[in-house]
A and B are shown apart, each in its own frame.
Chain A
Amino acid sequence: KAGVTQTPRYLIKTRGQQVTLSCSPISGHRSVSWYQQTPGQGLQFLFEYFSETQRNKGNFPGRFSGRQFSNSRSEMNVSTLELGDSALYLCASSLWAGGNEQFFGPGTRLTVL
């Protein structure tokens, strides 16, 4: 069974731009969560989607948003990029909402210049 896939793997953007990252969960998994990893803050929860609905949201500004499609694929969007948004963005999937065992993709490395 294929794992979680994320595209693109690397992105370079400039301040003020917006970016969209994509995540395809493991086949059959219906819950997708997003995390941000930075050297200073570690791994932090962004949001979780299940059945196309956001079920849980972390402590991030409204510039960070996401959505989930009927095939469980998910996208996250960051608008008005800031230098501090440079990070590794990780997507994780699980069978159900509240499915504690989450399986991570390789991440998208975003660099904001």
Chain B
Amino acid sequence: DQQVKQNSPSLSVQEGRISILNCDYTNSMFDYFLWYKKYPAEGPTFLISISSIKDKNEDGRFTVFLNKSAKHLSLHIVPSQPGDSAVYFCAASSGGTTSGSRLTFGEGTQLTVNP
């Protein structure tokens, strides 16, 4: 049962353009969502997160949008840079001190930014 899905295994964009990475989830208990970036042979690097009480969160070039009714979130990177080329993982948590910090990850999307 894949509770978090990233349907695009890969995405290719030109430098300077917008990159949009998508993620869908099925578990209504998820209330916190995160995006991580991962290079080969390294651990995931935290990028940005959003709580279910918000629908948008920005941090520099990164913006995450959450549509709770559609159970969909997206990560926008503007402008895209070649150094952004990596695998991006969407993750979700039902959070809270009683249930722990268990993150459920999507399969990842390989982003390639071409110079």
Hey, which bits of chain A sit against chain B, CB under 8 A? 4, 31, 33, 35, 42-45, 48, 50, 55-56, 58, 88, 90, 92, 94, 96-107, 109
Contact = CB atoms under 8 A, between A and B. Distances in A.
A42 B95 CA distance: 21
Interface in B8-58: 32, 34, 36, 41-46, 49
Nearest first, the 10 closest Cβ-Cβ pairs linking A and B are A56-B100, A104-B43, A43-B105, A98-B97, A100-B32, A55-B100, A48-B100, A104-B44, A45-B102, A106-B43
A65 to B, nearest CB: 17
Contacts of A106: 41-43
Interface residues of B, number: 27
A3 to B, nearest CB: 9
Give the interface centre of A92, A97, A100 by most chain B CB atoms within 10 Å: A100
A55 B98 CA distance: 8
Nearest to A33: B101
14 contacts: A33-B100, A33-B101, A35-B103, A43-B44, A48-B101, A56-B99, A56-B101, A58-B102, A90-B44, A97-B100, A98-B96, A100-B49, A104-B44, A107-B42
B101 A97 contact: yes
Contacts of B107: 42
A51 B24 CA distance: 33
B88 interface: no
Interface of B is mostly: loop
Contacts of A33: 100-103
Nearest to A10: B41
Nearest to B93: A100
A104 B45 contact: yes
Contacts of A100: 32, 34, 49, 93, 95, 101, 103
A2 B107 CA distance: 29
A97 B102 CA distance: 9
Nearest to A41: B107
B101 A99 contact: yes
Contacts of A94: 101
